[in-house]
Every structure is written in structure tokens, then in C-alpha cells.
Amino acid sequence: MVVVGRVTAAFGVHGWVRIHSYTEPEENFFQYSGIRLEGPSQKDQGVTIEEWKPHGKGFVAYLKDCDTRTQAELYRGMQFSVPKAVLAKLEPGDYYWSQLIGLSVQSTQQRILGRVDSMLETGANDVLVVKASKDSIDKRERLIPYLPDRVVKEVNLESAMITVDWDEDF
């Protein structure tokens, strides 16, 4: 399963929720089949999105059988996921964020900088959030721009390694 979005808050009094999509473009979130919800209070349950619409910088949606604000509040913080099989095939050299998270990051001098903990979208480019690992050169967190060819020299999914041209002192 791959996380494709999350519920950020309840919206209104009729059971609607605010949704933050991790897909690009963001509205592609609503085209997936087999969407599941999971979170601390409820594990891996199927969900049907009956209606949705853009609202502000995100979306609001009505989830089947969620008719009150109180019910909608229970979904806050839960994540939407879909089976990997429903994701579109990518061109060579393109990756889903979920494929990059957890990979080790090494410099072009083959020194381990840490592991990709998460990704940030900044508008200009995506950013790898690299946190120290047991085999990294130090305990620092690094924010490394995801700029293929310029900074990111190689992504090797088989060896679970990203090679970057990045100064260790940054």
C-alpha cells in the first residue's frame, strides 16, 4: 500500500472532511480505486468517497456513512492509501516519493549521510529530508534538494541507495 493523502480536519456540520492529497496533480487522488483509511483509532478500512470538491488549497469530501461533524472528527489525521498496483507506471528516472523514503543517501565520495525520512514540496523543487542513521557520518539532519543530475546523481532502488553531489557540511 502507498499513502496518497490524509484527512486534516472536519469540514462543516454534515460529516465532510478536509483532505490533503499527496498526488500530482492533486486531484488525481480521487481517481484511485481501492482507497483505504488507516490511523491510530482504526486500522485499514475501506472507504468510499461519495462527493468531493476543491476548497482553498486542498479539497473537501463526503465519506460514505459519515453524516456528522463528530463522526468526521474521528478521521482527523488518518491516512489514505492505495495498492501499489493501481499507481501509474513511471518513465525511467522518475520515482514516487514512497520509493525514495527509507533509502540510504551517500555523497559522491561514498560517505553515508543518512536515510530519507520524508520529502518536502517547496514549489521550486522537492527536498529530501535526510536523517542520521546508525551508519551515517554524523547525527545531523540534512535537507537536500531533489534535483536530478545536478544534486541527485543516482537513485538505485535495488541497492536502496541515493548518491548525491552534496557537501557534507551543508
Per-residue pLDDT of the chain (170 residues; tens, 9 = 90+): 888 889 999 999 999 999 998 888 889 889 888 888 887 766 567 888 999 999 988 899 999 999 999 999 999 999 998 888 888 888 888 888 888 999 999 999 999 999 999 988 887 889 999 999 999 999 999 999 999 999 999 999 999 999 999 988 88
Helices (H), the chain: 69-73, 97-100
- Which class is domain 2-86? mainly beta
For residue 102, with 0-12 CB atoms within 10 Å meaning exposed, 13-18 middle and 19 or more buried, which class applies?
A: exposed
Query: Domain ranges in the chain?
Result: 2-86, 97-164
Taking the model in full, what pTM does it have? Answer: 0.70
**Per CATH, which fold does 97-164 belong to?**
SH3 type barrels. (2.30.30)
The DSSP bridge partners found for residue 116 are 130
Cell of 114: 543518512
Contact 78, 6 (CB under 8 A): yes
Contact 94, 117 (CB under 8 A): no
For residue 146, with 0-12 CB atoms within 10 Å meaning exposed, 13-18 middle and 19 or more buried, which class applies?
A: buried
